[in-house]
Chain A
Amino acid sequence: MELLGHLAEGFSTSLSPLNLFIVILGVTAGLFIGAMPGLGSVNGVAIVLPMTFIVPPSSAIILLCAIYYGAMYGGAISSILLGIPGASTAVATTFDGRPMAQQGKAGLALIVAAVASFIGGTISVILFTLFAAPLADVALAFGPAEEFALVLLAFTTFVGLGGDDVLKTIIMICLGLALSTVGLDLISGQPRLIFFDEPGFYSGISFLVLAIGIYGVGEILYTIETSKSAPSVTPARLTFRDLWYGIKEVNKLWKTLSFGSFMGFFVGMLPAAGATPAALMSYGLSKLMSKKPETFGKGNIEGVASPETANNAASTGSLLPMLTLGIPGSPTTALLLGGMVMWGLVPGPMLFIEQPDFVWGLISSLYTANLAAVLVNLALIPLFVWALRMPFTVLCSLVLVLCIVGGFAPSQKMHDVWLIVGFGVVGYLMRKADYPMAPLVLALVLGPLMEKSFRQTLISEQGNVLAFIERPLSATFIALSAVFFLLPLLKYAKRAKRSEGVAGEPAE
């Protein structure tokens, strides 16, 4: 009851005309920033940060959060339309979003992404409202061993043994892990795998560079070859009926959506993890639990909905350790933290006690930001889809320009641009040889996290590998990983047994 009182008071702040206006402005700006490859919520928040002095502190934080939210929605747009993830959080959305766009269902994919994001965002804001304080303790319970086990789980849910060619999947994971070790060792600071003594490799290979290379440049090459002059996408139309149809389709996915929301929220809450592993795990799990896993990666609606729910839920989740512990879970929340410090608010265990007005104003604004984001997003979908009607020759060169700019912008090094071109060509050749690209990207994103937590655990446990299964939380995750890893194998064995049932036991 006390909670509702706080929330009601919070709404009295967030529903003021100024704050409502700010929320709409913020999500719209965020949407466009998120949709640009190479520009993410980090850039958006950073650029707007200094301009927020003209409004009162609570409105300023509301504006920053609205941009953060809008960018989460926007990330899906370039993933779907162009096949280039707008941010690392949206990489899983390309797996099915891009094929849907190629089948002329870009509008539907965008609708599904927006609605799924809304559901994920809303469920996690409710969780946040109810459990913010007790959940901070859960975040504390996560040490290096638990972090490792969680990342391992992310890997296994995604990969399993089902679906693609097992050997090729493993090769791609190893390649991704090898690429993730390039640069300076996280723990000792020693340089590793500096190819040709090229100084650019000291900063490692950024996820964005690999993703833009493989999905952007590689995709263009592939499309040029397969379609020659024919348009790559059938011009998509969008009517009100499509919108209704999209919402109905999403409605059928309530299981994926609620699961994705909960998982996204919890994974996002852990300071080390964040929205990217959450989205990948959610995608992997819905593929694993699906009755038709083979349709994933070929334009399955569920494959768009599940990562989008999870990444939005995670973005709310990662606000939790920032507010309650003062520890940001992602680069963007670190900036938000900086913003709060700017207005004399000290995030940490005392914030909820000392500044309840601010905290509840912010929480209630997350509800309005979510609603505003989905409405603005849906309203703008026709505009985005319209962009796809451009002739292929124009679109293709435009995408290539976006790829190069998007790759150059964050680090401003030509080194990265050459890497993008290199990855693009290699990615194209590997795709022709039917190698799956997702495990490669996944390994590069999760590899450093996994290595760091693995080594930290071993150091603190005097090299005792059993430490991972001696701690209850990490043991649970490891057991789950084992199940997910073997599940497809069991399924396969069962099927084999059934078909061979007549002929007796299988030889093994």
Chain B
Amino acid sequence: MTNKFTRRVAMALAASAALMTAAPAVAGDWKPQKPVEMVIMAGQGGGADRLARLFQSIIQKENLASMPILPVNKGGGSGAEALRYLKDKEGDNHVIMATLNSYYTTPLRTDIGVNIEEFTPVARMALDTFVLWVNADSEIETLDDFVAAVKASGGEWKMGGTGTGQEDSLVTAMLEKEFDIKVTYVPFKGGGDVAKNLVGGHIDSTVNNPSEQLGFYNAGKSRPIATFTPERLAAFPDTPTMTELGHSLVYDMQRSFVAPKGMDPAAVAYYTTMFEKLNDSEEWQTYTQEKSLNPDFLTGDDLQAYFLDERSKHADLLSSMNEGS
């Protein structure tokens, strides 16, 4: 036991020492030669999009990259478009991709010829949270109201979210299972679109991330009902968690960056250092506070292990859902 422990510590020390000495040298070796494309797996205006653009702006403002970062939205087909694109970019040192959970769910659900194990993990920036929202004009104030209203609608309750099989639909399926309710799930291209349709009264509820709905919440147009988090969120101190209400529904979304297969290790080191600095920036730390994000930084092999672990969890989740419906 002790033996194993010390060996591990020694390895970790050695690794970090190697990183500390090697990383600057390696990072110094390689620099982007042209603008770096930041592929976003979702449409414009959604949580993933806003976050990716925030990262881009901090990188630019703090001068963390020697070349501009260009965000490109490839939100089609629940992120399949982006995954395919990244696959085609094998060996390209000037592409990184901002991921969300569809990074594993989409290849699981659809045969698009993408294996995420092949991609190069770069950095996990945060875990995003989910909240159940309704329009502020509706009479629903509590979770019980919500469940009663959905039951009364006889399956015609419109729950808006991102593409079928993506996070929002998984959370919706979890809700359906837990409360034995049936909703009509309407897929949109991104969380921004969903937010607008909720406020415009075209859908009845959504499980958008806080950052996607916050603008309308501040304007008094959306109401949070309950959160899918272990603890209450600082931004909504009066909104109970599902767990508090006696339902063990917890789900979060990773916000990470990956690179194509076969990216030069020096380039990977460059981007990893860049995101490390980004993670330390004050602006990012304040943002995570305000927007209820959990800034849980992770890189390299640990991140890959996390991805694969999450993939198998989602595989179970998806198959249990298919049995249900």
Binding site for B on A (CB under 8 A): 46-47, 49-50, 53, 139-144, 183-191, 199-200, 202-204, 271, 321, 325-328, 331, 334-335, 337-339, 341-342, 346-350, 413, 452, 456, 459-460, 462
Contact = CB atoms under 8 A, between A and B. Distances in A.
A189 B189 contact: no
Given A141-B200, A144-B202, A271-B196, A189 B184 contact: no
Contacts of A349: 215-216, 218-219, 221
B203 interface: yes
Given A334-B53, A349-B221, 6 more contacts: A143-B201, A188-B164, A342-B57, A346-B215, A348-B215, A413-B88
9 contacts: A184-B80, A186-B163, A188-B165, A190-B77, A200-B88, A337-B44, A346-B215, A348-B215, A350-B218
A202 B81 contact: yes
Nearest to A144: B202
Interface stretch (B18-26, B66-74, B264-272, B299-307): B66-74
A143 B81 contact: no
A12 B45 CA distance: 32
Interface string B69-98: 011011011111100110110000000000
Nearest to B287: A341
Contacts of B163: 186-189
B76 A183 contact: yes
B60 A49 contact: yes
B150 to A, nearest CB: 14
Given A140-B200, A187-B164, A334 B49 contact: yes
Given A184-B112, A189-B106, A199-B88, A348 B218 contact: yes
A190 B184 CA distance: 20
Nearest to B60: A50
A338 B68 contact: no
A183 B81 contact: yes
Interface residues of B, number: 59
B35 A341 contact: no
A327 B192 contact: yes
B321 to A, nearest CB: 15
Contact of B45 (A141, A142, A328, A456): A328
Contacts of B221: 349
A492 B109 CA distance: 53
A191 B189 contact: no
B238 interface: no
Contacts of A341: 50, 53-54, 57
B85 A203 contact: yes
A338 B84 contact: no
B60 A53 contact: yes
Interface string B143-179: 0000000000001101000011100000000000000
A140 B165 CA distance: 26
Contacts of B276: none
Given A189-B78, A189-B110, A189-B165, A338 B57 contact: yes
A351 to B, nearest CB: 9
A199 B35 CA distance: 25
A338 B38 CA distance: 13
B188 interface: yes
Contact of B200 (A143, A338, A342, A460): A143
B59 to A, nearest CB: 9
A204 B85 CA distance: 11
User: Which of B56, B76, B163 lies at the interface centre, i.e. has the most chain A CB atoms within 10 A of its CB?
Assistant: B76
B61 interface: yes
B186 A459 contact: yes
A2 B142 CA distance: 41
Closest 7 CB pairs of A and B: A184-B77, A348-B215, A143-B202, A342-B57, A349-B219, A338-B53, A189-B77
B253 interface: no
Given A186-B189, A348-B219, A459-B186, A143 B53 contact: no
A462 B156 contact: yes
A140 B84 CA distance: 33
A98 to B, nearest CB: 30
A199 B53 CA distance: 28
A504 B43 CA distance: 60
Contact of B84 (A144, A199, A335, A462): A199
Q: Which of B111, B112, B156 has the most CB of A within 10 A?
A: B112
A326 B215 contact: yes
B310 interface: no
Contacts of A47: 35, 68, 70
Nearest to A339: B57
A456 B196 contact: no
A144 B81 CA distance: 22
B197 interface: yes
Interface in B39-56: 44-45, 49-50, 53-54, 56
B189 A50 contact: no
Given A189-B165, A326-B45, A452-B189, A459 B184 contact: yes
B293 interface: no
Most buried by B among A139, A184, A186: A184
Contacts of A183: 76-77, 81
A414 to B, nearest CB: 11
Given A184-B112, A341-B50, A327 B218 contact: no
Contacts of B45: 326-328, 334, 337
A340 B49 CA distance: 14
B187 interface: yes
Nearest to B187: A187
Contacts of B195: 327
B196 A327 contact: yes
Nearest to B56: A338
Given A186-B77, A341-B57, A349-B215, A202 B112 contact: yes
A188 B84 CA distance: 15
Contact of B196 (A191, A202, A325, A346): A325
Nearest to B163: A189
A308 B93 CA distance: 40
Contacts of A271: 193, 196
B103 to A, nearest CB: 13
Interface in B98-155: 106, 109-113, 155
A281 B79 CA distance: 31
Nearest to B50: A341
A350 B215 CA distance: 7
Contacts of A339: 57
Contact of B187 (A331, A335, A459): A459
A376 to B, nearest CB: 25
B207 interface: no
Contacts of A335: 71
Contact of A184 (B81, B197, B199): B81
Contacts of A186: 76-77, 163, 189
A9 B34 CA distance: 41
Contact of B186 (A140, A142, A348, A460): A460
Contacts of B57: 338-339, 341-342
Contacts of B188: 456
Contacts of B74: 203
